Structure 1
Amino acid sequence: MKLRNRGMTIGALLPGKKNCITDVDGVKVGHLTLDYPLDDGDYACTGVTAILPHGGNLFREKVVAASYVLNGFGKTTGLVQLNELGVLESPIMLTNTFGVPAVTQGTLEYILQENPEIGDTTGTINIVVGECNDGQLNSIRKFPVKPNHAIDAIQTATAEISLEGAVGAGKGMVCFGYKGGIGSSSRVIEEGVQTYTIGCMVLSNFGGKIEFPFEKYPGIKDVRKGIDETSDGSIIMVLATDAPLSDRQLLRVAKRCGIGLGRTGSHFSHGSGDIVIAFSTANKIPHNSEAVLQTVTHIREDHPLMNQLFAGAAEATEEAILNSLSQAVTTKGRNGLVVESMFGLKKR
């Protein structure tokens, strides 16, 4: 159950119809969840999440993108080139720390199958993968995530309301000592006849119980036992919008995700990988073109819409994090460890 279904409202802007990153037209999300025992107390409690900016060929029709690192204790792929060129040409893939190589390979295999020219008659492909460490619940040393799991997550992606909580890459994540994982929210930005949507999806795996501001959210009660969790951990924040923004403007908007993260109690601790990956679906960038010049439209820097997009990014991030907690079920993992749902949700 999302936070709003519990009677709690975050911020002043209205959410989209689905209150999900898929409110941004064309965006799709897919999950592959692993949940089964291994030998000698080990457990596969992990998965893969795929976020597709649109349903077409992402290599041949790239989107404008940027990333921002609040604290760099993370093991991502693809962000160097993404920031250099300002475009995204693959799905954004999320998984656990040791699953990054397998997910990168699987995503690469999928895109190569779609595009036989890559590495032959044209250049290579930049795969973007983000991670958080789910090693408390998941036996990461056993490498349960395989390349085919990334392909499955991509192929099952839909534009429907995404599953949240202990699903996909979020299966084994812990947030503020409670069960965390996947969360999403969106905001609608209106200015005259112009209407834009901004959506956020998070993979939450950070914070100690002592840091969560229960007093700020009266509808959330400190009545359940959280595990002894340090501040260290990570969060990947994926921001999508249909507002026409340049990669530099996207970077400015992405920075405001840190405001939403801070509102939930995080201080971006030493051992936390706090990373934002942002993209706009408004302008598709063709891979093949003989044109010397390229013309795109983007919002004026000093227009009030920019401030609304800043606010929308902060609000959607805060609510997405709370939704990851609100939707997560109590989960059992390796060595019998149980991490409780903050809201008392039991595994179905």
Structure 2
Amino acid sequence: MTSQKTKCRFRDLGLTIGTLPTGPLNAITDVAGVRVGHVTRIADAPHVLRTGVTAIQPLNVPYWQESVFAGFHSFNGFGEVTGSHWIAETGVLTSPICMSSAFSIGVLRDTLLAHPKQNGIDDRWHQPMAGETFDGVLNDGWEGPITRADVTAALDGASGGRVAEGSIGGGTGMMTFEFKSGIGTSSRVAATPCGSFTVGALVQSNFGNRSELTVDGVPVGRHIGYEVVDSPQRRDQGSIVIVLATDAPLLPPQCARLARRGGIGLGRVGGFGSNRSGDFIVAFSTGNRVPFNDVAIAEGLRMLPNEAMNPLFRAASEAVEEAIVNSMTMSDSMTGVDGTTVHALPTDKLVEVMQRYGRGPESTS
């Protein structure tokens, strides 16, 4: 049995998560300069494809001109994110961030490496950052990985403004808490003693057991059982790639601290880092821009005091939680390889459960 589904963002249901205000778009692109691009590949012949690629450009200039400080955190390491060792070593993100299927991470890495040369830049060596989650429940990835042209199109098509969510780009074939999911995003504005800053999150979400799903403290998954919405795979394992962006002027160790707080948002929604889950978080700051220069000293760097970071930590947690929920509420049911169907999270049932616990405009408490 399935229930009614109307695809929309979580807040469009009259529901909220946390206490901090969102940015104007409630998206990672609320951080000025951040751009997102998607390419989606859906086909039924000659092979069943439910896949794609999502690209995040950290700045509004080519990445071979300027870099940003960043930090990386592996909440649980059953997966792959290329370029993460370089961030741990230097604290500098030297490429866009691309996300796709586990079947396609090599294509992501190779395309990112070659991309500057394709644009006439011969002397810009960098460490490509590519992350993956497994979409094999719906996608015949053995037969149809994405191509270099797909990755290039996502990179070149990245833009600011509203971000498409749900079953799109790298999130096309994903499932979360046994509901259809994909890409989700959210943002928060954090007021600190040094001024207000934005923290934005974007996730490619693909993890979780139904019973663990929790939204703003409400045990939603316990109330939407298999008799309401069936599941093709009852599981604990899975993966998620979380990207956090902020315009707060952070140095690399502070970016790493912010990345770790993304794991709080993952835990709040019901993720616990199962043994076979690849849960990875990268956080970057646009508050310091590092020109590509092998010889000159970078000057004029700024740093938010550590004592002022608590609002950013809360913002990261709230934004990640809501981004994960948006990845589900913005996804429709999908049928893929071998006729497997992953059903959408029924938003009517979600609202009903949230109201039962006193959430929403028409709650009973």
TM above 0.5, one fold?
yes
TM-score (norm. length: structure 1) = 0.92
Paired with 2:178 and 2:295, the residues of 1 have a C-alpha distance of 54
Task: Give 1:228's aligned residue.
Answer: 233
SS in 2 for 1:66: strand
Partner of 1:33: 40
Aligned twin of 1:79: 84
Deviations 1:87-138 (A, max 9, x none): 11211000000101112222223222235232xxxx6221100000001100
Q: Is the 8 A contact 1:260 1:317 kept in 2?
A: yes
Return the alpha-carbon distance in structure 2 between the equivalents of residues 54 and 163 of structure 1: 19
- Decide whether the 8 Å contact of 2:51 with 2:101 is kept in 1: yes
Which residue does 2:196 correspond to in 1?
A: 195
Corresponding residue for residue 247 of structure 1: 252
Using the alignment, how far apart are the partners of 1:290 and 1:75 within structure 2?
32
Counterpart residue number, 1:311: 314
Counterpart amino acid of residue 14 in structure 1: P
Which consecutive unaligned segments of at least 5 residues does structure 1 have? none
* Counterpart residue number, 1:10: 17
Shift of 1:344: 6.3
- Partners in 1 of 2:220 and 2:102 — Cα distance? 33
List alignment gaps of at least 5 residues for structure 2: 1-7, 349-365
The one-letter code of the counterpart of 2:324 is I
- The structure-2 alpha-carbon separation of the partners of 1:248 and 1:115, relative to structure 1 and needing over 3 Å to count, comes to farther
Alignment counterpart, residue 116 of structure 1, candidates 113, 121, 125: 121
Aligned to 1:98: 103
Offset of residue 286 of structure 1: 1.0
Q: How does 1:272-283 map to 2 (within 5 A)?
A: 272-283=277-288
Q: Is the 8 A contact 2:105 2:132 kept in 1?
A: yes
What CA distance in whole angstroms lies between the structure 1 residues aligned with 2:262 and 2:203? 10
In 2: Cα distance, 1:292 partner to 1:318 partner: 39
Q: What TM-score, normalized to structure 2?
A: 0.88
Distance 1:298 1:215 in 2: 32
Distance 1:185 1:271, change over 3 A: same
8 Å contact 1:8–1:219 — kept in the other structure?
Answer: no
1:106–1:149 CA contact under 8 A, matched in 2:
no
> What SS class does the counterpart of residue 316 from structure 1 fall into?
helix
Is the deviation greater in 99-108 or in 70-79? 99-108
Give the deviation of 1:287 after TM superposition: 1.1
Query: 2:357 — aligned with what?
Result: none
Counting only pairs closer than 5 Å after superposition, residues 1-348 of structure 1 correspond to structure 2 as 1-39=8-46, 42-118=47-123, 124-191=125-192, 194-213=195-214, 216-217=217-218, 222=224, 223-288=228-293, 290-292=295-297, 294-303=299-308, 306-343=309-346
Q: Give the distance between the partners of 1:197 and 1:25, measured in 2 at CA.
A: 9
247-256 or 204-213: which moved more?
Answer: 204-213
SS of the equivalent of 1:258 reads: helix
User: Equivalent residue of 1:90, what SS?
Assistant: coil
Once residues 317 and 214 of structure 1 are traced to their aligned partners in structure 2, the CA distance between those partners, rounded to angstroms, is 12
What is the CA distance between 1:82 and its match in structure 2? 1.7
| Counterpart Cα distance in 2 of 1:202 and 1:232 | 17
My pick for the range that moved more, 240-249 or 219-228, is 219-228
Give 1:321's aligned amino acid: I
**How many percent identity over aligned positions?**
38
Cα distance in 2 for residues equivalent to 1:154 and 1:217? 38
**Cα distance per residue 1:124-180 (max 9 Å; x no partner):** 221100000001100111133111100011111110111001000000001111101
RMSD after superposition? 1.9
Following TM superposition, by how much is the alpha carbon of 1:300 offset from its aligned partner in structure 2, in angstroms?
0.9
Contact 1:93 1:129 in 2 (8 A): yes
Contact 2:179 2:328 in 1 (8 A): yes
Equivalent pair of 1:52/1:157 in contact (CA under 8 Å): yes
SS in structure 2 of the partner of residue 276 of structure 1: strand
- The Cα of 1:28 is off from its aligned counterpart by 0.4
Q: Aligned partners of 1:228, 1:141: CA distance in 2, in Å?
A: 19
User: Given that residues 244 and 297 in structure 1 are in contact (C-alpha distance below 8 angstroms), is that contact kept between their aligned partners in structure 2?
Assistant: yes
Rounded Cα–Cα distance in structure 2 between residues aligned with 1:215 and 1:144: 36
SS in 1 for 2:88: helix
Partner Cα separation in structure 2 for residue 340 and residue 79 of structure 1: 33
